[in-house]
Chains A and B, each alone.
Chain A
Amino acid sequence: AQSVTQLGSHVSVSEGALVLLRCNYSSSVPPYLFWYVQYPNQGLQLLLKYTTGATLVKGINGFEAEFKKSETSFHLTKPSAHMSDAAEYFCAVSDRPGTASKLTFGTGTRLQVTL
């Protein structure tokens, strides 16, 4: 069985500040990890994913995440927040690399960006 925990249902940062959204996972097999973003009234959009290889993964819109096996974490970061980053972010885990496989999602973190 796999599970995902996202610490902090709401995160607020100032524009230009570092964004850090936390994700910890539990998996009995090597995990494949994903971050999705959901803007209001829109579907989930894939930000980035870790399958194998380099543990630091770069995604769209300046986001990146680092897979740390020892900490069972896959935290999402962005050096400088922009107002347009305000959205809901979901971390997900799968036991297979393709996102067409079954995904287990975290509860989501709502990011607020203030002036």
Chain B
Amino acid sequence: GAVVSQHPSWVICKSGTSVKIECRSLDFQATTMFWYRQFPKQSLMLMATSNEGSKATYEQGVEKDKFLINHASLTLSTLTVTSAHPEDSSFYICSASSPSGNNEQFFGPGTRLTVL
């Protein structure tokens, strides 16, 4: 089946630093990738949708300059949390889809970010 990986699985950083999270589709080409954020005991909240080779579309309330998304290839999307602060601590999950896969979203295992 379609596999999506995320790296790192967890990261701890100091306040003010930037953190990059990678999302890879391992065995298919992902024309669209999604980035979600999940707080404890809360829903997955869609942050942005990215299509390969174009700018990401951000959801209302998500700062595009703080959460930089790059979808440079059909198998890789990156989320960079710039100047991270403790309130950015969360679980970040990506998903990838391909038209050939009946448009199903395949989810990565998530990345736990803790900002000290």
Interface residues of A (CB under 8 A from B): 4, 9, 36, 38, 41-46, 90, 97-108
Contacts and interface: CB of A to CB of B under 8 A. Distances in A.
Return the 10 tightest CB-CB contacts between A and B, nearest first.
A98-B103, A43-B107, A100-B97, A100-B103, A44-B107, A105-B44, A105-B43, A99-B105, A99-B104, A43-B109
Given A90-B44, A102-B46, A103-B46, A43 B106 contact: yes
Interface residues of chain A: helix, strand, loop or mixed (majority): loop
Contact of A45 (B42, B43, B102, B107): B107
Interface of B: 4, 9, 32, 41-46, 49, 93, 95, 97, 99, 102-110
A8 B69 CA distance: 34
B43 A100 contact: no
B75 to A, nearest CB: 16
Given A41-B109, A43-B93, A44-B93, A108 B43 contact: yes
B36 to A, nearest CB: 8
Contacts of B9: 41
B103 to A, nearest CB: 3
Nearest to A108: B43
Nearest to B32: A100
Contacts of B44: 44, 90, 103, 105
Given A90-B44, A106-B43, A43 B108 contact: yes
Contact of A43 (B4, B45, B99): B4
Given A46-B104, A107-B41, A102 B93 contact: no
19 contacts: A4-B43, A36-B107, A41-B9, A42-B109, A43-B109, A43-B110, A44-B44, A90-B43, A90-B44, A98-B102, A98-B103, A99-B104, A99-B105, A100-B103, A101-B103, A102-B46, A105-B44, A106-B43, A107-B41
